């Protein structure tokens, strides 16, 4: 795998029981890019993400992440690789019993032997990077949905990962708040050089943030390239996706 390729998925298959959910997926992500995986509901987007980060065990195929063949690693080695990976889950997945700062610092507490003082300093730094101030000692229920999503981003980047995965980051947000979250992801990419893979079906977000897109349809890749190339492609499913609701 080339040094500028941070993730390469080849001929990936996945099943739920007898249902063939992913049928030979191929995906390449360049370091420093924003790749958006899109498609209609049920096309396999989230299943692909969960296979990559090994929440699910792939049925067949290759997943090379950060130079490691994930399908061949022992569980403890998978965990070692995933410490270099950040994940922002669809609902934020914040723990209501912990403060905002404790939520952000949780990966540091689990995976390092840092002192509580240093964990707090790093968590506060990450909260500033996502433009949240003076929220360390507050609780998730005290924040708006958009602020909770930013906290989830802060936690995803607290270990300074080489790549972060975002599952439907704009889901449930109003257009203005979603636009602000998109600007945050763009800023992390441009200022920190962070590679970002986003799973979404939100049209405006896709247009704002994507360097490249991979379009899934019924568990298969129909298209990979830029949005401009997608608009020019003579693929009915993609044309319908981008033109729905006259957007």
Per-residue pLDDT of 99-116, as tens digits, reads 999 999 999 999 999 999
Predicted confidence (pLDDT) at residue 1 exceeds the cutoff of 70: no
| Cα-based distances in Å from 187 to 72, 130, 163 | 34, 9, 14
Order the strands of the 68-69 sheet from edge to edge: 19-30, 5-16, 60-65, 68-69
- Looking at the chain, the domain(s) classified CATH 3.40.50.300 span 5-84+163-246
The pLDDT score that the predictor gives to residue 25 is: 94
Q: Which of 49, 54, 42 is CA-nearest to residue 25?
A: 49
User: Using 50, 70 and 90 to split pLDDT, how confident is the model at 210?
Assistant: very high
Per-residue pLDDT of 9-36, as tens digits, reads 999 999 888 889 899 999 999 999 999 9
The pLDDT score that the predictor gives to residue 187 is: 93
H-helix or E-strand containing 20?
Answer: strand 19-30
100-111 and 145-157 helices, crossing angle to 10°: 20
User: Using 50, 70 and 90 to split pLDDT, how confident is the model at 247?
Assistant: very low
Architecture of the domain defined by 5-84+163-246: 3-Layer(aba) Sandwich (3.40)
CA-based torsion, 192, 196, 201, 207: positive or negative: positive
Per-residue pLDDT of 182-206, as tens digits, reads 999 999 999 989 999 999 888 889 9
What whole-number distance in Å separates Cα of residue 97 and Cα of residue 127? 19
Q: What does the longest C-alpha to C-alpha distance in the chain come to?
A: 56
Predicted confidence (pLDDT) at residue 246 exceeds the cutoff of 50: no
**Please, what is the average pLDDT of the chain?**
90
Q: What percent of the chain has pLDDT over 90?
A: 58
233: helix, strand or coil: coil
The pLDDT score that the predictor gives to residue 240 is: 86
Can you tell me the mean pLDDT for 50-76? 90
Token pair for 98: 């912990």
Per-residue pLDDT of 139-178, as tens digits, reads 999 999 889 999 999 999 999 999 999 998 888 888 898 8
């Amino acid at each position: 795998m080339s040094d500028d390729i941070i993730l390469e998925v080849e001929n990936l298959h996945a099943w739920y029981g007898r249902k063939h959910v992913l049928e030979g997926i191929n995906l390449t992500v360049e370091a420093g890019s924003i790749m958006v995986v899109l498609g209609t509901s049920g096309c396999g987007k989230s299943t692909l993400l969960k296979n990559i980060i090994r929440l699910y065990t792939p049925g067949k195929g290759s997943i090379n992440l950060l130079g490691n063949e994930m399908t061949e690693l022992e569980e403890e080695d998978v965990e070692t690789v995933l410490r270099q990976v950040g994940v922002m889950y669809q609902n934020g997945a914040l723990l209501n019993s912990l403060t905002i700062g404790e939520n952000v610092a949780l990966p540091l507490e689990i995976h390092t032997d840092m002192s509580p003082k240093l964990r707090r300093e790093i968590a506060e730094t990450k909260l500033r990077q996502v433009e949240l101030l003076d929220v360390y000692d507050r609780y998730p229920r005290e924040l708006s949905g958009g602020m909770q999503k930013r906290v989830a981003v802060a936690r995803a980047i607290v270990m300074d990962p080489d790549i972060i995965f975002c599952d439907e980051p704009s889901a449930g947000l109003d257009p203005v708040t979603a636009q602000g979250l998109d600007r945050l992801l763009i800023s992390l990419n441009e200022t920190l050089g962070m590679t970002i893979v986003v799973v979404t079906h939100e049209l405006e977000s896709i247009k704002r943030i994507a360097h490249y897109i991979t379009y899934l349809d019924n568990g298969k890749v129909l298209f990979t390239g830029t949005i401009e190339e997608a608009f020019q492609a003579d693929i009915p499913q993609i044309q319908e996706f981008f033109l729905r609701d006259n957007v």
